[in-house]
Structures are given as structure tokens and as C-alpha cells.
Chains A and B, each alone.
Chain A
Amino acid sequence: MVTHDDGLASPHSSDAGFFAGIFFADHKTIGLQYLWVALASVLVGMVLSAILRWHTSWPDTAIPFLTSLNQAPESFAALRLLHGSLMVFFVLTAAPQMGFGSFLLPLQIGASEMAFPSLNRLSFWMTFASFVGITLSFFYPLSQGIQVWLASAALFSLAALLSAINFIVTTIELRAPGMTLPRLPITVWAWFLTAILSMLIFSILLAGSVALLSDRLLGSEFFSSATFLAQQPQNLVRQGSLPVLWERLFWYFAQAQVYVAMLPCFGIITHLIATFARKPVWKERLVVFALCGVGLVGFCVWGYHMFATGMNPYAPIVFAVLASSLGVPAAVLLASWLGTLWQARIELSTSMLFALGFISLFIAGGLSGIFLARHDLARAAVSEEFVVGHFHLVMGVAATFAILGALFFWFPKLFDRRLNEPLGKLHFWLTFAGVYAIFMPMHWMGLLTQSNLLPDSQRMALASASSSIRTFVTLATVCTVGAQLIFIFNFAATLLHHKAAAESNPWSASTLEWAIPLLVTSEGAAAAASPVVYRGAYEFLENDSLAPVPQHLAPELPPSRLP
């Protein structure tokens, strides 16, 4: 009965084989593959950060296993580049957008696949190749390594572009009947808007890296010409800095990249808070507008990375106003989160703790961001440690919290079992305390370096304080990285030992991805393939049970209690 064609069409037949598993993977498998790459990257990146901190505190001690890396400043720089690119590309971009997005976007809109499944596979394997390339680039000598890095970055841009096109088309074209725009879960909105943003900015990184690669390999003169540098006004060219043109192209990409990483996290956090507060998102439509606003303004503020580089004297004011106006959509998001939590019966699961931790980090990072957004204050605040502390708190750690919250929340969907909650909570509190202990003192160190106007005696005292703060930060880093062992243990033990859970909707959520297995058991596979949506994404009964009202529940039927 089973013909050859059927075997190709359904990849989950058991005899599909290894290659079929790779080349005919469905969107869920691809989403998981992205998440595995992200997990590998985050572990390597975290260990690298501990090594980097160790080296800044005790530069003379040899680092075990890594003595072969000679103590040259280049290898420190290369280590930082590796840490940054692994974290930004393969964790912050790949996990919340491509990983969770590929897995959940079709499920949440009631589609059976992405719009272009083969394109989805292609973009994953390009991402994977780029991951291998960026990791390998570290082991080459610096000048070759940077070329491998650039080629890998170009490849990743291409992968991100293809993936973004897929996301946009899927959201526009494949929504289930009745899944109107106001009924879309906020996560879907966030993935959709992020895809639009990535489609615009990764083209720019692609153009920039192709041009730079051609400069290095073929000797063209887009950026790197001695005469070009000599012609620049002196205040524009600092010793050893990159040419301004590359800086412009790069920051044009990289500032918006921050929002490519953050927007899906905003979506995830809004989703988690509404689900665990058992209330609709407060001012849901305004939240969607705020997400659009973040994307739009985020696309226009690249210049504020160049306050210290120097630019047309009028430009900084424009960029400062734009960057500060990012506070408006951010405040709307914050108000909506707090409004949703207001007078709600909150269920403090691990995912919810991570969501609340995200809010705390978002506020802390947003406040230090005000210093950096204003060109006049930035002159006082811009220093290595202050900037590093700021963006790690608001971008790196906050996004990681969103990813972890999402992982705890959707783990039953991804792997059919639940992570251990008490271990998860312990991991949360240690990490939460740890990241504040690392990154808050970093802000102080940054401000201390600006003290060169003080008399000598005070500067001496500050210098000694600064060195003890540095040691504290390093110890906190090592402890926080160590605390991640709890998570790794929880993750591995759950996967290896726990049997599959029977609950199909363990968090009592109302969106479609939890409804689909229910439909499979009760009404057959045909209904599962074509759910019809009748209501908004976050509706809960207002009686004592606070049971969710699934999106596919027809209005004439009485809302049934779900197990």
C-alpha cells in the first residue's frame, strides 16, 4: 500500500534513514537542530567568557589546557571575537528566532509546515556551516582567520535572509482560517517583525562582508586604501581603528541586530507573562505597535555607536533623539507586562521566574542605556567596561533569560517531557544573583576610568578599588558559569531518564500549538491538519478555575474544562 512517493512525503516513517532525516527534516526537527547549535555555542561562549575574565584579572597565570595559546594580544582579541560571534549569531539570533520560530511558528498559526520547507533546511545547513567556519577561524593565524570569519559571517547572513523570507511568507500566507492578525499570538508578531528587520539588515552585512573579503583577497579598494585613510579628517581616524566606511556599514547592521535578537524575546516574555498571569495581554494592540516601533526606530539609530568615532556635528543630536525615543515603545512594553501582572493570580513556575527576571534586567539595562543614548552624556559614560556591562545585561543576559524561559515552557512540546522545576528555580536564582554581581560592578569600573580630572591622591585610591572590583567580577563570573552545571544536569537528566509525559497541555496555555495533539486524539488527524480559529490568543475563563479558552474553540460550544 505504501508507495515510494508516500515515503518521501512523510519524513517520520521509521525507515527514513539518516540522509532522509537530514534532507527531508520537517520544521520541528530543523527548529531543534538550531537549538542544539545554540546550546553548543552558548556553552563554548560561556567558558570563553570565564577565560577572558580570568585573563584580565590574573594575566600572568597560565590557563589550564590552553597554554598552547601564546600570550599574544592577538589571541586575546581572537578569543573575544569568537565569544562575541558565537553568542550573537548562534545564540541570540539563532535560538529565539530561527530555533523556537521554526519549531513553533507553523504550529501557532495552524499551518503544517513552513512555506518553503527546502529553503528552511538549506538555511539551517548554511547556519551550521557558518558555525563550523567561525569556530575554525579561531585556530588559523589572525590574518587568515579573519578571512574565514568574514566568509562565515557572509554565509550566516545569507542563511538568515533565506530564513527571514520563509518566516514572512509563512506568516502572511499560511495562517489557519480565522487566524486574523489581531488573533495572532504576540510571539508570532515578534517573529514576523524580526524577520522583516533581518531581511533588511542581513543584506547590508552581506554586502559589507563581501566587499571587505574582496578587499582582503582580491585587493579591491572598498575600504582598505592607505590613501583613503590619509584623506580622512584626522579626528575621524583614530590610530588602529577601522575605516569609517566599514564602521558605518557594520553598525548599520549591528545596531538593528540588537533588535533582531531582542524582538523575539519581547514576544516570548509577553507570551509567558500572559499565560502564567492567566490574563489577556494588557493593551495587546498597543504592544504590537510597540514591537513595530522598536523595529522601526532600531533600524535608524546605527549612528549612536559612532559618537566616539566622530561624525558630522549635527548627526549626533539626531541619533541621540532617535535612540532616546526607543524609550517610548520600551515603556509601552513594560507597562503592558506590569499591567498584565496587576491583580493577577500569578503562577511562579521556572519559566515565569525567568520572565520576571527578564523584566528586571530590561529595566536595569534600559536605565544605563539612557547614558549611552545621549551624545552629551555618552562622552562621560562611554568606556569599555560601562558599555560591556550595559549590553551584556540588557541584550546578552536578558535574551538568555528569555531563551531559558522559553525552553522551560516549551520543553514538553520539544521533547515530550518536563524539566525539573525545583532544580530550575535554584538555577534561576543563582544565575539571577550572579549576573547582577558580574555586570553591575562593571558599570562602576567604567565610570571609575573616567576619573582622570580628579587630583592624583583620589585617583590612586580609585585605582586600587577598581582592581578589587575586577577580582570580584571575575570570581562572580566563575561562580555563575559554574551554576550553569545545574541546568546542564537538569537538561541531560530529564532527557535521559524521564519517560514521556502524558499531559498535552501542562501549563494550561490557550494557543494553538498545545491544542494540536488534543485534536489528533479526539477528532482525528484531518482536523489537526486544518484547525479553525475563533478567538484571540490569550483568553482565560474569569471564574475560579482560570482555565484557558483554546483559540480553536467554537464560540457556540460551552468552553470545556481541559485536563
Chain B
Amino acid sequence: MPGTTSQKDIELIIEPVGRGGGPAAPPAGGDDSGGNGGERRRPGQPSPNRYYTGIAVAIVSILMFFMALASAFLLRKGSSTNWVAVRIPPLLWLNTLILLASSCAVELARKQLAIQNLSKFKRYWNLSTILGVLFLTGQLVVWRQLEAQGIYLASNPASSFFYIFTGAHALHVLGGVVALLYVATRNFDKAKVSRSVAAEVTSYYWHFLDALWIFLLLLLYVGR
């Protein structure tokens, strides 16, 4: 976030001029943008803040979903005898590295966007999208490997939880890849949001999926 504040301020100044709106709004914000919410924008005009708040709230909600499953995991593990722990396939560690690398690529891309280097931004951004797809493919291979060992969703409670954790996470990553593609392909001249806002919001979600994955991996590792 600190890397992009200058970017947001520039837009806030530019926007009223572009619309040619009546009141000559004072260049609010500047460097000392105090918390005076009333003066920052003209009412009725979409403010990008809603996207930051929206993604924060959505993240809490997704976290709660996984916490419910995690608590069920621990309770279930403590009270069952047919718990056959799933040995974590080595490929999973590689996938983790890929996901982490993808997060780094998103950050590098945003650094480039902050200095208005659009072509480098696109290159890094596409790299992170490809890494995201690679992660999903890797997860698919992991499921295939487990299947080959005869470990299915219905085999025992531990395998059920392994599949639901990885599956639900993969579904969220898929959503993240769609968001990455949206930022890459959208024509932002016509959109209500600017590219930097869309990129920042997507990057928050993407980093969250990273952290969530590491938590799930630790849970599966500790809960063997």
C-alpha cells in the first residue's frame, strides 16, 4: 500500500478535471490527506475505497469458512480411530514455492505500475498468472498421485479433509486467476476503477491465498 499512495493521489486530482465538473474542487489530499472523509471526493462518484473495504471483508469471510473446517478437522481427528494420515506428497512443497513466487511476481508488477512502466508491469503480471495456473495444475497432479496410491475422498476422514482443504483452496485460487486475467485484459480507459486500484485489490486477495495455503499446509502437516 505505501508504494502506491502517490498514484492514488494523482488520480484523485485528475478525476474532477477530466469530468469537467462544476465546483473547482481544491486539490484535496496532497501529502497531508487527513481523515476528512467528506471532502475527499464528490458524493455520487465511485470512490476506490469501496474495493479495498470489500476485499478486506471478503477475506475475513473466506477465512471464517476455512476456520470452520479447521476446527472440524481438529475435533474429528481427536475423536476417531480410522484416521489414516495422508502423507504429504513432495510435489506439494514445489507447488507452495510456485505460489509464493507468483505472489512475488505480483508485487514486482505493482512496483513497475507505480513507476508507470506498463510493459514491464504486464510482463510480471502475466508471469504471476502463469505461475498461478501452474500451481493449479500441480494440485491436479497431486490429486492424481494420491488417487494412484488408492487414497480417495471417501477413503477415511483424513483423506476427506485433505481433499476438501486443497479443493476449496484451489477453487479460490481459480477465482484469483480469473481476477488476474481480468486485470491483464481489461481496458481501463472505460472502467470505473483504475488499473492500479484493480491491481492492488487483486494483489491483496492473491497474497491472502498464499498465507491461507501455508496455514492449511501446516495444519495438514501437524495434523498428520
Contact = CB atoms under 8 A, between A and B. Distances in A.
> Are A and B a genuine interacting pair, yes or no?
yes
Nearest to B53: A169
B50 A173 contact: yes
Interface stretch (B10-18, B59-67, B93-101, B140-148): B59-67
B50 A222 contact: no
A178 B37 CA distance: 9
A245 B49 CA distance: 40
A172 B53 contact: yes
A232 B81 CA distance: 10
Interface on chain A toward B: helix, strand, loop, or mixed SS? helix
B135 interface: no
Q: Which of B57, B68, B72, B157 has the most CB atoms of chain A within a 10 A radius of its CB?
A: B68
B112 interface: no
Interface string A201-230: 111101110110010001111100101100
Given A168-B57, A169-B57, A227-B80, A222 B62 contact: no
B154 A218 contact: yes
Contact of B64 (A169, A199, A220): A199
Given A248-B75, A529-B44, 4 more contacts: A173-B47, A221-B82, A227-B80, A228-B80
Contacts of A203: 61-62, 64-65, 68
Contacts of A245: 72, 75-76, 79
B75 to A, nearest CB: 6
Contacts of A177: 37-39, 43
Contacts of B76: 222, 228, 245
Contacts of B60: 199-200
A248 B157 CA distance: 17
B88 interface: no
Interface of A: 110-112, 115-116, 161, 164-165, 168-170, 172-178, 199-204, 206-208, 210-211, 214, 218-222, 225, 227-228, 231-232, 245, 248-249, 252, 529-530
Contacts of A116: 50, 54
Contacts of B43: 110-111, 176-177, 529-530
Given A172-B53, A174-B50, A203-B68, A231 B160 contact: no
B58 interface: yes
B65 A204 contact: yes
Given A232-B79, A530-B42, A161 B61 contact: yes
Contacts of A164: 57, 61
A225 B80 contact: yes
Contact of A225 (B38, B66, B82): B82
Contact of B81 (A169, A175, A201, A231): A231
Contact of B65 (A115, A172, A207, A222): A207
B143 to A, nearest CB: 13
Interface string B153-176: 110110011011000100000000
A211 B58 CA distance: 21
Nearest to B75: A245
B156 A214 contact: no
Contacts of A165: 54, 57-58, 61
Given A211-B69, A218-B154, A199 B61 contact: yes
A249 B168 CA distance: 18
Interface residues of B, number: 37
A207 B81 CA distance: 23
Contacts of A112: 44
Nearest to A167: B57
A526 to B, nearest CB: 9
Contacts of B153: 214, 218-220
Given A200-B60, A200-B61, A228-B80, A168 B160 contact: no
Contact of A221 (B50, B61, B156): B156
Interface string B22-47: 00000000000000011100111001
A291 B187 CA distance: 44
A-B pairs, top 10 by smallest CB distance, nearest first, are A177-B38, A219-B154, A220-B160, A203-B64, A207-B68, A530-B43, A203-B65, A204-B68, A173-B50, A115-B50
A231 B83 CA distance: 12
Contact of B53 (A168, A207, A222): A168
Nearest to B70: A207
Contacts, number: 116
Contact of B79 (A172, A202, A207, A231): A231
A97 to B, nearest CB: 16
A327 B156 CA distance: 44
A171 to B, nearest CB: 10
A364 to B, nearest CB: 34
9 contacts: A165-B54, A169-B53, A199-B60, A199-B64, A203-B61, A203-B64, A207-B68, A231-B81, A245-B75
Given A169-B50, A225-B82, A199 B164 contact: no
Contacts of A207: 65-66, 68-69, 72
A115 B42 CA distance: 15
Which of A164, A178, A214 has the most chain B CB atoms closer than 10 A to its own CB?
A214
Nearest to A157: B65
A366 to B, nearest CB: 29
B197 to A, nearest CB: 13
Contact of A220 (B54, B65, B163): B163
A169 B38 contact: no
Contacts of B164: 210-211, 214, 220, 222
A296 B56 CA distance: 20
A126 to B, nearest CB: 15
Nearest to A205: B68
B156 A178 contact: no
A221 B157 contact: yes
Contacts of A210: 164, 168
A115 B46 CA distance: 8
Nearest to A115: B50
Q: Which of A111, A172, A208 has the most CB of B within 10 A?
A: A172
B161 A222 contact: yes
Q: Which of B43, B81, B82 has the most CB of A within 10 A?
A: B43
Contacts of B53: 115, 168-169, 172-173
Nearest to A218: B153
A164 B62 CA distance: 13
A216 to B, nearest CB: 11
Contact of B72 (A202, A214, A222): A222
A206 B50 CA distance: 25
Nearest to A206: B65
A185 B78 CA distance: 47
Given A112-B44, A231-B81, A204 B160 contact: no
B49 A173 contact: yes
Nearest to A178: B38
Contacts of A161: 61
- B42, B50, B60, B62 — most chain A CB neighbours (10 Å): B50
Nearest to B47: A173
Nearest to B38: A177
Contacts of A206: 65
